[in-house]
């Protein structure tokens, strides 16, 4: 069971209030539920066409999504009028749901945007985009239920689009001039043509473009915020009047027009209730009987809907839509007696009854949906072996999406394979520094091998990217199982026997390699003939754990001379800590350097192709000046990782940012500098303190850290908690924890550079590229001791509770 830590919290006084001290509970998320407490699910049988494609290494078609062990639910509502309901969900509903999911072997996560939008997101108008992205992520990741909405009498804030198609904007502007709409200059001021978008769009420029102190905590910021609110009101009025006139003139469609009059709450609900997802939605509608708005507090429950017929109609239409698209068993209306001051569960029995009924309905409905999903998933659960093959197949497909060039190296490898048909074959190694594109090349090589040899079997592993690929022993065990499916099993030993010594396991592996040349064994794969030749690709030997010291002693597991029709390719960096892998391999291969290939740097034309195709995937393009500048910069250090990091910077450029690229959009000259810029962007987007400590915990833990462990460390960090709870209080008065959404969103932002392994029933996060670990240690070295203290506090405290003092200042 999870332990609890009592924490003494000191809250900074707000607007003249007396200082308040509270003792609250910090509920730790670790240790995780043990395997014995989880429901044991029956693995799916391997007799499927997809499994056969995985075993033979045929990645020419897409594969089904990997089985999810997660329920991730987005909570949608306006904030101020549903504060009590949201907080009561955390106190009375979610704990039992989380416990139930843990018993079933699933994770449970809640996405609450009260703590998911930074000040920067408000400044650059991307708050609604972040919300929609989170909904899409919930739909994609969750094993079932993924969206709960609550609607009251408040429509919510109406954002205008952040991007407007060029033709649409110019139509609106033309009508504005025709109709002499007031404040047209504000429309032209705040929307500028972005020639970097593809197709061309006008973009809503960040508030800091004209109000430089908007994101600061200063007197100037308070003054600028007032000025912006006045200017924004005039801007939106002018824009919506222009859109209305354009619609009346039939120059805009109804859908185009509605984009300017929808609240973010309605956008969320319509996105969460798309047709394919409606069975995974729960809906709540709350109405007040005979409401009378008398005070400012009362107004929070209605906004300006009572004064605006259009808004009132929008709310009514939204409620009608929700009742239509939400399954009846998952939809409930509540009529609550109105009392001045809004909801008061302390003094109003009818309001307490409403909350009781709401929590009861949501608990039972969520439980039922989760149980139903788990029963459905029972027959879809894959074996560990099947799941790992699927992981490497999807990983390989992802790595080849933007692979271009290296034709000369591929040609040389093909020639070497053809030569080995007539001579003794030896393993081939690819060596290059970190960030040189070895992994993408290995994925592309596997794809080319399928074209060159259509009847072949290809076994590929990207080492260190999954639990079964973290040690050479696990790799060999996995390969033995795959070879058994491919070529049968004529040896007496069973590789499934966990008591086998490493040398015994290696002997079985070698015997199965030799069986490729034999013809009398029956293949378990349903093919007319047994697949030949066999190709084994092991990427990033340097990522293996070296605790057994077998990983880098090639002669302890790798055959120097391979059987006929067997080819093995490995890749690694030249040196790692005390091991010179290049020298060790040459010693193993007896200095036959013809088997050692260096992965070359990118050619200029390869860089051009990667830039062009990568930007197209983001619907971006570069001006001639920007393109020349980017290409000239990358040619000084043409490594794939460096280019990827530069593209990540360049895709955010807008043509109106600057007239001098070198001054304000200066590109980093090294991989290390590019990583520094990435970290700075992450700090700006997710919060400086939150990102600093999250990255530091990642590298200063022993071998990586789980998401739950990361949340626990952040939850005892005063500096981080100060930053997070600067706008909204913690949802439960007597408990505090970093909102899961923040960690999940941050992880998603850096997922391309993170490796996730499943070790001891935990998903462990660590950096995939060593350059990132090195840069993190350098940038955040001042946090090392504090991170170690927090890690020790989380892991080693054997008490059921302890007291700490947390002071929240930014309130």
Residue indicated by tokens 């033309």: 174
Write the CB contacts of 634 (distance below 8 Å, at least 6 apart in sequence): 602, 607, 611, 642, 643, 646
Q: How many residues are given for the chain?
A: 811
Burial-class residue 363 by CB neighbours within 10 Å (0-12, 13-18, 19+). Answer: middle
Burial-class residue 231 by CB neighbours within 10 Å (0-12, 13-18, 19+). Answer: middle
Cβ(429)–Cβ(530) under 8 Å? no
- For 589, the 3-state DSSP assignment is coil
| Cα distance between residue 352 and residue 347, in whole Å | 8
Interior/surface letters 453-480, b for 16+ CB within 10 angstroms, e for the rest: beebbbbbbbbbbbbbbbbbbbbbbbbb
Q: Which residues pair with 579 in a beta bridge?
A: 576
Sign of CA dihedral 619, 624, 626, 631: positive
Q: Which runs of consecutive H residues, i.e. helices, occur in 738-799?
A: 740-749, 770-779, 784-796
pLDDT the model gives residue 43: 41
pLDDT the model gives residue 2: 39
Picking from 124, 126, 147, 350, the residue whose alpha carbon sits closest to that of residue 215 is 124
Alpha-carbon torsion, ordered 90, 95, 98, 103, to 10 deg: -170
Cα–Cα–Cα angle for 326, 332, 338, rounded to 5 degrees = 135
Q: Which residues pair with 7 in a beta bridge?
A: 24
Interior/surface letters 672-704, b for 16+ CB within 10 angstroms, e for the rest: eebbebbbebbbbbbbebbbbbbbbbbbbbeeb
Write the CA distances from 568 to 323, 430, 696, integer angstroms: 60, 11, 38
Q: Which residues pair with 24 in a beta bridge?
A: 7
Provide block-wise average pLDDT over 10 residues at a time, the chain (811 residues).
38 37 47 38 54 92 80 93 93 94 89 71 79 92 95 90 96 97 96 94 92 81 90 96 96 94 94 97 96 86 66 89 98 96 94 98 98 83 84 92 87 91 84 92 96 95 88 93 85 66 92 76 51 92 74 90 93 89 92 89 91 93 91 93 94 71 71 95 90 96 84 89 79 73 82 74 79 95 94 72 62 56
Write the CA distances from 751 to 112, 118, 389, 743, 744, integer angstroms: 21, 20, 20, 12, 10
- For 706, the 3-state DSSP assignment is strand
- For 441, the 3-state DSSP assignment is helix
pLDDT the model gives residue 802: 53
Over residues 555-581, the pLDDT tens digits come to 999 999 999 889 999 999 999 878 899
Burial-class residue 329 by CB neighbours within 10 Å (0-12, 13-18, 19+). Answer: exposed
| Cα distance between residue 468 and residue 472, in whole Å | 9
Whether the bond into 199 is cis, omega within 30 of 0: yes
Render 453-493 in DSSP notation, one character per residue: -TT-EEEEEETTSSGGGSSHHHHHHHHHHHHHHHH---SSS
Cβ(345)–Cβ(111) under 8 Å? no
Q: Record the pTM.
A: 0.82
Token pair, residue 716, equals 């005892």
DSSP 8-state code for residue 43: P
Provide the greatest CA pair distance for the chain. 92
């Amino acid at each position: 069971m999870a332990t609890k830590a009592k924490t003494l919290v000191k809250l900074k006084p707000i607007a003249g209030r007396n200082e308040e001290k509270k003792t609250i509970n910090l509920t730790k998320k670790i240790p995780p539920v043990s395997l014995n407490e989880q429901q044991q699910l029956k693995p799916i049988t391997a007799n499927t066409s997809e499994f056969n494609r995985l075993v033979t290494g045929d990645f020419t078609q897409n594969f089904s999504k990997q089985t999810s062990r997660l329920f991730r639910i987005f909570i949608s509502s306006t904030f101020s009028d549903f504060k009590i309901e949201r907080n009561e969900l955390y106190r009375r509903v979610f704990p039992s749901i989380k416990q139930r999911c843990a018993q079933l072997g699933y994770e449970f996560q809640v996405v609450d945007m009260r703590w998911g939008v930074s000040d920067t997101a408000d400044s650059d108008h991307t708050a609604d985009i972040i919300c929609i992205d989170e909904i899409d992520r919930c739909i994609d990741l969750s094993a079932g239920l993924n969206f709960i909405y609550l609607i009251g009498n408040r429509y919510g804030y109406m954002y205008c689009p952040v991007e407007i198609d060029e033709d649409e904007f110019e139509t609106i502007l033309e009508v504005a001039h025709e109709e002499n709409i007031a404040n047209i200059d504000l429309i032209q001021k705040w929307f500028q043509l972005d020639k970097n978008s593809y197709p061309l769009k006008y973009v809503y420029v960040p508030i800091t473009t004209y109000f430089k102190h908007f994101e600061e905590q200063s007197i100037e910021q308070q003054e600028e915020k007032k000025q912006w609110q006045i200017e924004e009101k005039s801007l939106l009025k002018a824009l919506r009047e222009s859109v209305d006139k354009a619609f009346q003139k039939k120059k805009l469609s109804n859908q185009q027009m509605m984009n300017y009059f929808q609240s973010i709450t309605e956008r969320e609900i319509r996105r969460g209730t798309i047709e394919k997802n409606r069975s995974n939605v729960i809906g709540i509608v709350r109405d007040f009987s005979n409401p009378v708005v008398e005070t400012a507090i009362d107004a929070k429950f209605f906004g300006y809907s009572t004064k605006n017929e259009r808004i009132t109609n929008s709310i009514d239409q939204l409620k009608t839509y929700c009742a239509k698209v939400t399954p009846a068993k998952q939809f409930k209306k509540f009529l609550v007696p109105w009392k001045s001051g809004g909801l008061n569960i302390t003094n109003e029995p009818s309001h307490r009854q409403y909350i009781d009924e709401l929590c009861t309905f949501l608990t039972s409905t969520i439980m039922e949906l989760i149980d139903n999903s788990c029963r459905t998933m029972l027959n879809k659960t894959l074996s560990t072996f099947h799941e790992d093959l699927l992981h490497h197949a999807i990983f390989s497909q992802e790595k080849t999406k933007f692979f271009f060039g290296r034709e000369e190296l591929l040609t040389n490898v093909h020639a070497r394979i053809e030569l080995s048909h007539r001579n003794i074959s030896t393993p081939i190694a690819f060596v290059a520094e970190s960030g040189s594109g070895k992994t993408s090349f290995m994925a592309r090589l596997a794809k080319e091998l399928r074209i060159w040899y259509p009847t072949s079997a290809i076994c590929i592993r990207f080492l260190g990217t999954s639990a079964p690929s973290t040690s050479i022993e696990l790799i060999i065990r996995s390969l033995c199982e795959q070879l058994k499916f491919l070529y049968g099993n004529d040896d007496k030993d069973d590789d499934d026997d966990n008591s086998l010594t490493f040398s015994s396991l290696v002997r079985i592996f070698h015997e199965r390699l030799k069986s490729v040349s034999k013809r009398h064994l029956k293949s378990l794969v349903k093919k007319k003939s047994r697949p030949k030749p066999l190709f084994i690709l092991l990427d990033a030997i340097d990522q293996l754990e070296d605790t057994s010291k077998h990983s880098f002693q090639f002669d302890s597991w790798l055959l120097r001379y391979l059987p006929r029709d067997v080819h093995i390719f490995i890749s690694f960096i030249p040196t790692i800590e005390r091991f010179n892998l290049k020298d060790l391999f040459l010693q193993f291969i007896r200095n036959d350097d013809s088997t050692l290939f260096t992965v070359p740097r990118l050619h200029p034309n390869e860089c051009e192709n990667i830039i062009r195709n990568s930007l197209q995937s983001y619907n971006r393009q570069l001006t001639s000046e920007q393109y020349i500048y980017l290409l000239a910069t990358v040619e000084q250090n043409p490594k794939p990782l460096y280019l990827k990091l530069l593209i990540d910077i360049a895709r955010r450029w807008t043509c109106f940012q600057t007239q001098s690229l070198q001054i304000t959009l200066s590109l980093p000259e090294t991989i290390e500098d590019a990583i520094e810029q990435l970290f700075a962007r992450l700090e700006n987007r997710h919060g400086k303190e939150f990102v600093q400590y999250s990255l530091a915990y990642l590298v200063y833990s022993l071998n990586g850290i789980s998401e739950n462990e990361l949340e626990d460390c952040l939850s005892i960090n005063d500096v981080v908690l100060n930053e997070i709870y600067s706008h909204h209080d913690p949802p439960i008065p007597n408990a505090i924890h970093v909102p899961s959404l923040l960690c999940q969103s941050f992880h998603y932002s850096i997922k391309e550079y993170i490796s996730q392994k499943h070790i001891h029933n935990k998903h462990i996060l660590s950096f995939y590229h060593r350059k990132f670990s090195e840069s993190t240690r350098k940038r955040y070295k001042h946090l090392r001791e504090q991170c170690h203290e927090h890690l020790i506090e989380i892991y080693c405290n054997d008490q059921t509770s302890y007291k700490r003092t947390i002071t929240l200042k930014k309130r």
